[in-house]
Amino acid sequence: MVDLNIEIPKGFLDEEVRSGYIVSPEMKRVWAVELDLLAEFQRVCKKHNLKYIASGGTMLGAVRHHGFIPWDDDIDLMMMRDEYDKLCEIAPTEFKHPYFFQTEDTDRGFMKYFARLRNSETTGIQKREASSRYKINQGIFIDIFPMDAVTDNKLLFQKQTDLEKKLKQKIINVCRWRYKLENTGTFRYKVKKYIIAPIFGSIIEKIFKPNKLFHQYVDLCKMHNEEETEYVSLLSLDFNSKVHYIKRKDMEDIIDIDFEFMKIPIIANYDEALKWKYGNYKVLVKAPNYHGDMIFDTNISYKEYFKTH
């Protein structure tokens, strides 16, 4: 396994049966890399007084298991947009190799509206994207999501949602040639991949400037952030799902809770938030991971992986 900057407790990497589910040593090593990323993230946030909390399955895992959900393979964090923007400003100078703070601005082609902190000496590739061999950092990662205001005015929110759908589709259309080609192994695919995409993709990007469109999308998510709304949400992840809603006032009361051999902050009103998102969250339900199946390797970098596969 790659060298880490955190001290791993004795026995942590051993196979474990957690809530009736077998957690393999291989997954434990992935967890260790992600916990190291979390520690580095916490270091930077503490230095710059940035606030964040665990999100989704990470908050659920912290409450129910005092660590990872047994079948989970990631860490999700969220921050209010102003805190997130500050993080994006200082990240390039704070995170040093092997840590890499990834956004569309720092790694063109990332094509997501949130950030990932990656370990560049490891491999963490979504299987559905492996054949495309995207030229972006694909080390093991943790996700950092910005939280934006959900306007209390339903008509304004519907207008904002309609604009979001149109803009997102425009971005997809502009970027499709360069980033959305599925590897079928056919001659037609090779023509698109190696001839059409490099030529016409570059021309399309110069004309339509996808990075500019990405910033327009972010501005759209931030449209109502000056309002004192009842709810905030992960609009940059999903405009249409209320499961990501959190009461703004809950963000003012944060507690630290055990997460494996570390601590992680969550909202004090976690019970209401988890019931809103999962229903009876105390009942174990093995749900599919947001990322889908992953290719993990804690011994080699994604660059080395692509050389041998």
Structure tokens at 167: 């803009």
Helices (H) and strands (E) in the chain, counts: 10, 13
pLDDT in tens, 162-211: 999 999 988 887 776 555 455 555 676 666 666 666 666 666 666 667 78
The residues, any chain, with a CB within 8 Å of residue 124's CB and separated by 6 or more, are: 30, 118, 138, 139, 140, 141, 294, 295, 296, 302
The mean of the pLDDT values for the chain is 91
Residues 261-301 have pLDDT tens digits of 999 999 999 999 999 999 999 998 877 666 668 999 999 99
Mean pLDDT of 149-168: 96
- Which amino acid, 104? E
Domain positions in the chain are 16-149+228-308, 152-223
Q: Which residues, including other chains, have CB under 8 Å from residue 213's CB and lie 6 or more apart?
A: 167, 170, 171, 174
pLDDT (tens digit per residue) in 184-193: 556 766 666 6
Judging by DSSP bridges, how do beta strands 21-23 and 16-18 pair with one another?
Answer: antiparallel
Answer for the pair 54, 142: CB distance below 8 angstroms, yes or no.
no
Task: Please give the residue that has the higher pLDDT: either 246 or 201.
Answer: 246
Is the peptide bond preceding residue 98 cis, with omega within 30 degrees of 0? Answer: yes
The confidence score (pLDDT) of residue 180 equals: 47
> How far apart, in whole angstroms, are the C-alpha atoms of residue 183 and residue 197?
13
Q: Considering the chain, what percentage of its residues have pLDDT values greater than 70?
A: 88
